[in-house]
Structure 1
Amino acid sequence: MTDIIETYLEDFGPALSGTISEHLEKSLGISAAAARKRVSRASGNIRRLGYVTFARKARFMYLENQFGSPLYWRKLVDALFSTNSAYGYAIAALIQREGFVPEWEFPIVCGAPIKQSRHLSPATIMQRLKEAGLLQTIQVNGLGDCICIVQSEEHYNSLAADTRVRLITENILLLAVKDWLRKLGIVSFDKVTIRSSTHAPKVGTFVWDLTAPSYLGCLIKTGKDKKVKPGFVAADVYLGDTITEPGSRPFINKCKTLRALRNVGPCMQIFIANRYEKEAFSLLKQNGIMPATPESLFGEDVAKGLSELTSVLHDAASHSLDPERFERLFAALGKIEGAANQLRGTLFEYIAAEVARKNYSSLVRMNQIYKNQSGKKAEADVVIITDNISVRFIECKGYSPRGIIPDTEVRRWLQHNVPVIYKAVKVHPDWQNLDIKFEFWTTGILSDEAIAMIKTAQVSTKATRYSLGFKLNQDVYDLCKSTKDKGLITAFEKHYLPPY
């Protein structure tokens, strides 16, 4: 009788055991008890998903060769949605994002509260889906630890550049949203918080990409003590593929669950994406959520600027720097408060990487995250590997030429980044016997105290361990000129040289 179950799974795809039992009842004319018994005894190529529970002790069943296929994930998400399962929202969020997100982003996108009675937390969801063999944590180049649907690591490494570009572009969009909310007086001016890899803003029991308190009349509440309590604005963004109906559901779950909390004020909830399926757009609106696009919020020029930024960063990652395109980006996006600084910092990392390729070695990597044995992490903006000779780690600070680099940035580089990366390097099988160099490159100004900190560390560090150095604006410009690359030189001159 396994054959008829296998045939059903081949014809209709993975399904819950209860659905298969109903099929046996109708097709064979047997009782419900007999059908359930036959399903429970099915073996051969038939597999059952473990660790993930369904109503009435149902099991999710599939054929061995179906595991991991698009049909498998779609049927699993449908089955989980049918029971309003938190696991379904988490998987749907990952599928919407090409199967993976940086570990820090998972609590934001998965649709679950950080801590709330009778709800699974993101950490618990992650753990149980890992136990079920559905999710895994892997190191992805340029992104660090990522939570992903089970696939080969090579699959996700091939998508790493796209994801990093998406995150950079989304950061610019979030700055635009922040600027828009403040200028319209929707939120408290100095209280807007935006996500980062180390901090996620919170409203209620959930974390978001952007949050802010609001004292608009429609959002405030007056407590029993007659004091006015603010409402909130909470927004998530996604500038990847078109938002699908399943992909919209994790955000909808966040919003609906938040509204059920008695002690949290009213909240304006916004989701921003480039494109929506018709069903997703309608579902978001039906649930009282504002589905927006960059164009609907900020107009065509900003929307085109964000799209162009994505294209420019993709090309820059392929060693193609076009100064005229960057100039257009600064013109389109530079009016957004904070965007010019973000663009200048991002561009400088790409310039530094290209300078390194042309002056030192063709083997250059960007945005590498290292973890020492105690679990501490640090990022190197540019890594230059000269085979059998040295490995050089560059910290990049792309500021305006008159911008002063905070001493805290230099202190953190010396006291955190350098020792964490050094310990990771010493256990790297290919780098243990190479010369190790750490350098701080900036287009801004280092204070006398910052320079003194670096020079003191240079003297106190044994040459047999590693060397320390720094390059200021003119030093980096000289390296650019030595490449004889007109595009590279022009890009640096336009955005980092002081006007004379």
Structure 2
Amino acid sequence: MPDPVEKYLERYGPALSSEVAAHLIKAGSEAPAARKRVSRAGPNVKRLAGITFPHKARFLYLQQQFGSPSYWANLTTALISTRSAYGYAIAALRQRKGLVPTAHFPIVCGSPLRQSRHLSPETVYLRLSQAGLLTKVTVGGLGECIALIQGDGHYEAWAEHVRARLLTENILLLAVKDWLKKTGIVSYGKVAIRGDDPAPQVGTFLWDLSAPSYLGPMVRTGKDGTRKNGFVACDVHLGESMTLAGVAPFVRKCQTLRTLRKVGACLQIFVADRYDGAAFQLLKENGIIPATPASLFGEDVASGLRQLTSVLENAAHSIINADQFDELFSKLGKIEGASIQLRGTLFEYLAAEIARKTISTDIKMNRTFKPTTGTPAKAEADVIAITSHQSITVIECKGYSPRATIPDDLFKRWLHHNVPTCFREIKEHPDWRNLAVRFEFWSTAGLSEDALKLFARAKALINADRYSIEVRLGPELYVNCQDTHDPSLIAAFEKHFLKVEKPPGDWH
């Protein structure tokens, strides 16, 4: 006779032991007998360890169901139904293809950084990791990420999509920042967005964007007559329609924030491409603005953002269309800071393709170096080209306007921080430690005379047996681009990084 517990799980998917027992009781078993059958289920029935549920319930599943969509969906539902911090974290990851950069996890998971009777993001991750549900992985183009446990190849398969989405969200955040400043909703110079230092924070929570607000309805007057400003807090997510479970972590953040007496009034906004009906209703019921790029900025900007994600994914697969980037500059260029970010992102992809066609086909982008020896530090390399058993070239990309000059501080940081930090880890890496090492600074803008002198002195002092450094500016990079004989690369470089109105040699 088949095990009734196993039969239930096969039909309905993973479930709490209490749900299985209730089903057996409804089918005619006495309550004690039903609970005993569940507790004595056969060896094919697995029990999730490390995560507790009310009334000593356990989460049951069959081995072949582990990691499946029904596994994550049912586990998330079970956890959120008990208002568990673990459920909100899993729901946030599921909404985001099961993968977020480690730095973004405290924003999306719904937990406060530090608050009485609440689990912190670090604790949530640690316990879910110990339960075999979450892990930390290094993903090409994204760096260290927190992810749902998935099969081999899953993370890399989604990496380019996630990176394109995050880059597009960065442009969206610039647009929201610009809108809030221009409308006077927030203090003009105090808007923080994801990636800034310090990070956007209101109360005990991190957000994708935050800013103080001094509008009349946002300001509170205390009993002693002091006036306390309010805040704007905003999270964003582009791509898939926001589900009810997907917005639940944000709603939890908003609800918990409102219980903090020392925090002023807070206008809370979520921005997404679209929402499921139940998700939209949940946000509205909780006094949260469920915005879209179209509702905030019009369809032209919204279509530009949708197009940008697609264009970036194509660029990651060596399909670079200069005309499409022209269209994006036209649609999104009015957003303060968007043109700079678009130009920098485009140049990284161009640089990667130039390196792939002129140095090595083994190319990695946006890798974070964190050596274990020496002073604790980390540095990100934009492009890495590896020639098997011979050399490794680490490239810093600065895709500025050709009429600009690279700030000296940026060049000094590359020379004095990035180069030595990356070199320390390269010497620790089992596959790279014996390769010839080269660091190159690629810029479509010029360097100041001081920066050029600094480079010349550093190059003369470096022991060539350790590593070498090189600077490649616009004219040389254009020649390298032409050497690829790729019309799309050349056209993109000429349209966005070539100073056509001046003689070819005049780049400083």
Smaller-chain TM-score bracket: over 0.9
Q: Could you report, residue by residue, the CA deviation over 1:21-66 in whole angstroms, capped at 9, with x for unpaired residues?
A: 2233333442x34433332233411111111111112111122222
Alpha-carbon separation, structure 2, partners of 1:197 and 1:22? 50
Q: CA contact under 8 A between 1:404 and 1:444: conserved in structure 2?
A: yes
Equivalent residue for 1:11?
A: 11
Equivalent position SS for 1:111:
coil
Which 10-residue stretch deviates more, 485-494 or 46-55? 485-494
Q: CA contact under 8 A between 2:315 and 2:349: conserved in structure 1?
A: yes
Letter in structure 2 aligned against 1:78 = T
Structure 1 position 188 matched with structure 2 position 175: no
Equivalent residue for 1:157?
A: 156
Equivalent residue for 2:444?
A: 443
Equivalent residue for 2:240?
A: 241
Q: Could you report, residue by residue, the CA deviation over 1:146-202 in whole angstroms, capped at 9, with x for unpaired residues?
A: 111101341101111111111110000000001111111111000100111865310
Q: Could you report, residue by residue, the CA deviation over 1:356-397 in whole angstroms, capped at 9, with x for unpaired residues?
A: 223222222222222212464322111112233211110001
Structure 1 position 477 matched with structure 2 position 478: yes
Percent identity over the alignment?
Answer: 57
Alpha-carbon separation, structure 1, partners of 2:139 and 2:198? 20
Deviation at 1:482, TM superposition (A): 3.0
Q: CA contact under 8 A between 1:46 and 1:63: conserved in structure 2?
A: yes
Equivalent residue for 1:271?
A: 270
Equivalent residue for 2:489?
A: 488
Equivalent residue for 1:461?
A: 462
Equivalent residue for 1:27?
A: 27
Letter in structure 2 aligned against 1:72 = Y
Alpha-carbon separation, structure 2, partners of 1:344 and 1:124? 39
| 1:99-498 map, 5 Å | 99-196=98-195, 200-374=199-373, 376-498=377-499
Deviation at 1:67, TM superposition (A): 1.2
Equivalent position SS for 2:438:
strand
Equivalent pairs counted in the alignment come to: 499
Which 10-residue stretch deviates more, 361-370 or 430-439? 361-370
Q: CA contact under 8 A between 1:108 and 1:200: conserved in structure 2?
A: no
Q: Could you report, residue by residue, the CA deviation over 1:311-348 in whole angstroms, capped at 9, with x for unpaired residues?
A: 21122112122211111111111111100111111111
Which 10-residue stretch deviates more, 178-187 or 423-432? 423-432
Q: CA contact under 8 A between 1:394 and 1:440: conserved in structure 2?
A: yes
Alpha-carbon separation, structure 1, partners of 2:281 and 2:404? 46
Alpha-carbon separation, structure 2, partners of 1:198 and 1:167? 18
Equivalent position SS for 1:158:
helix
Q: CA contact under 8 A between 1:96 and 1:244: conserved in structure 2?
A: yes
Alpha-carbon separation, structure 1, partners of 2:327 and 2:170? 18
Alpha-carbon separation, structure 2, partners of 1:153 and 1:445? 44
Q: CA contact under 8 A between 1:270 and 1:292: conserved in structure 2?
A: yes
Letter in structure 2 aligned against 1:389 = Q
Equivalent residue for 1:95?
A: 94
Equivalent position SS for 1:383:
strand
Letter in structure 2 aligned against 1:44 = P
Alpha-carbon separation, structure 1, partners of 2:384 and 2:239? 28
Deviation at 1:2, TM superposition (A): 8.1
Which 10-residue stretch deviates more, 243-252 or 381-390? 381-390
Alpha-carbon separation, structure 1, partners of 2:44 and 2:360? 51
Q: Could you report, residue by residue, the CA deviation over 1:291-324 in whole angstroms, capped at 9, with x for unpaired residues?
A: 1111111001111111111121122112122211
Letter in structure 1 aligned against 2:223 = K
Alpha-carbon separation, structure 1, partners of 2:196 and 2:122? 16
Which 10-residue stretch deviates more, 204-213 or 348-357? 348-357
Q: 1:230 to 1:178 in 2, by over 3 A?
A: same
Q: CA contact under 8 A between 2:187 and 2:214: conserved in structure 1?
A: yes
Alpha-carbon separation, structure 2, partners of 1:183 and 1:394? 37
Letter in structure 2 aligned against 1:123 = E
Which 10-residue stretch deviates more, 423-432 or 468-477? 423-432
Which 10-residue stretch deviates more, 341-350 or 33-42? 33-42
Q: 1:10 to 1:486 in 2, by over 3 A?
A: closer
Alpha-carbon separation, structure 2, partners of 1:199 and 1:413? 21
Q: 1:448 to 1:224 in 2, by over 3 A?
A: farther
Alpha-carbon separation, structure 2, partners of 1:27 and 1:357? 64
Q: Which runs of 5 or more structure 2 residues have no equivalent in the other structure?
A: 503-508
Q: CA contact under 8 A between 1:140 and 1:153: conserved in structure 2?
A: no
Deviation at 1:245, TM superposition (A): 1.1
Letter in structure 1 aligned against 2:304 = G
Deviation at 1:408, TM superposition (A): 1.9
Which 10-residue stretch deviates more, 281-290 or 118-127? 281-290
Alpha-carbon separation, structure 2, partners of 1:198 and 1:139? 23
Q: Could you report, residue by residue, the CA deviation over 1:449-468 in whole angstroms, capped at 9, with x for unpaired residues?
A: 22233222222221111101
Alpha-carbon separation, structure 1, partners of 2:124 and 2:414? 35
RMSD over aligned CA atoms reads 1.7
Equivalent position SS for 1:159:
helix
Q: 1:252 to 1:113 in 2, by over 3 A?
A: same
Q: 1:64 to 1:484 in 2, by over 3 A?
A: closer
